[in-house]
């Protein structure tokens, strides 16, 4: 790798995640070591139940590992309290989900403003930043539309605008094209690729090879273990 240790953004060692299930446990992750450098675009691929979403949730500070260490930009995430995790999600992480997860009663710009509310950004500045983010995605014309007035692709773009608005250090996408048709998927993936080219660090989870092909590095995961990790050559 050309980046030095200074370029390490995500460093996970021996991540284990067990879920109680019936009498025993379901082992979602069985010891994962995973490093992401600044500026990378990583795709995590695997069949359903392989643990890829669990890994992404832990990387996004939404979930905590049962065992193992996770260092995000020098912060030992595995030792933090729920509120500290919330702060990290707010300041450092931008999430893009398969089903968009927009607030149905709020319009586009209000949805994009949401992370800034919890960052305690004053209303005027908040609105300006949200509009900037929408404008970047050429969605400013839809600022006052509610999610149900927009197409799936537009909704996902709103969600991306929301992920970008607080200028996160890490963007995480969980099957971002899972609910979209092929043309729209191509657009969304083109957009994510563009973000990476602008310098954003992205980690993407998918089970589709042609989606994973947009990334520059491909990690395959199966039964809670990483089975391969390679640079994609184009």
Partner 1 sequence: MKNEVKRRLFGFWGTAAELIRIALRAILANKMRSFLTVLGIIIGVLAVVAVVSIMQGVFQSILGDFEALGGDTMFIRPNWEMFQERIEGIRRLQLTYEDAQALARDVPQAKEVCPFVLHSDSIAYHGRHDSSQVVGTMESYSGMYSFYPELGRFLAPMDVAARRKVCVIGQDILDKLALPTQCLGTEIQIGRGSYLIVGVLEKKGARFGQSQDDQVFIPLTTAIVQYGPETARNIFIGVQVHDAARMDQAVERISNVLRREHGLRAGATDDFRIFTSEELQRQIKKFTSISTLIVAAIVSITLVVGGIGIMNIMLVSVTERTREIGIRMAVGARRRHILYQFLIESVTLSTLGGVLGLGCGAGLAHLVVWLLRSTVAETFPPAYIPIWVILSSLAFAAFTGAIFGVYPAMKASRLDPIDALRYE
Q: In the complex, which residues of this chain contact partner 1 (CB under 8 A)?
A: 57, 60, 62-63, 82-83, 86-87, 89-91, 95, 97, 101-103, 105-106, 114-115, 117-123, 125, 162, 166
- CA distances to 8, 40, 123, 200, 231 from 204, rounded to whole Å, are 17, 11, 32, 12, 14
- CA distances to 144, 180, 225 from 196, rounded to whole Å, are 28, 21, 26
CA 167 to chain centroid: 13
Nearer to partner 1, 163 or 218 (CB): 163
Strands 170-174 and 202-206: parallel
Nearer to partner 1, 9 or 102 (CB): 102
Nearer to partner 1, 114 or 218 (CB): 114
Q: Which residues contact 165 (CB under 8 A, 6 or more apart)?
A: 94, 112, 113, 115, 116, 129, 130, 133
Task: State in angstroms the smallest separation of the CB of 211 from partner 1.
Answer: 21
What SS3 class is residue 226?
A: strand
Task: State in angstroms the smallest separation of the CB of 19 from partner 1.
Answer: 10
Nearer to partner 1, 37 or 157 (CB): 157
For residues 28 and 56, the answer to whether their CB atoms sit within 8 Å is: no
Q: Which two tokens stand for residue 112?
A: 């994009």
Nearer to partner 1, 28 or 218 (CB): 28
């Amino acid at each position: 790798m050309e980046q030095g240790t200074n370029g390490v953004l995500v460093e996970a060692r021996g991540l284990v995640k067990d879920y109680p299930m019936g009498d025993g446990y379901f082992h979602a992750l069985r010891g994962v070591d995973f490093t992401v450098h600044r500026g990378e675009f990583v795709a995590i691929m695997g069949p359903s139940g392989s643990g890829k979403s669990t890994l992404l949730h832990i990387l996004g500070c939404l979930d905590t590992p049962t065992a193992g260490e996770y260092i995000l930009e020098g912060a030992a995430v595995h030792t933090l309290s729920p509120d500290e995790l919330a702060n990290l999600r707010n300041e450092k992480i931008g999430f893009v989900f398969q089903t968009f997860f927009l607030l149905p009663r709020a319009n586009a710009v209000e949805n994009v403003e949401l992370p800034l509310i919890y960052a305690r950004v004053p209303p005027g500045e908040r609105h300006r930043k949200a509009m900037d983010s929408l404008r970047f995605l050429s969605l400013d014309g839809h600022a006052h539309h509610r999610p149900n007035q927009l197409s799936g692709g537009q909704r996902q773009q709103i969600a991306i605008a929301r992920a970008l608005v607080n200028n996160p250090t890490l963007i995480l996408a969980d099957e971002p094209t899972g609910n979209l048709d092929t043309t729209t998927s191509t657009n969304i993936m083109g957009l994510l690729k563009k973000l990476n080219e602008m310098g954003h660090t992205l980690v993407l989870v998918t089970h589709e090879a042609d989606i994973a092909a947009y990334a520059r590095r491909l990690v395959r995961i199966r039964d809670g273990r990483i089975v391969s990790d390679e640079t994609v050559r184009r």
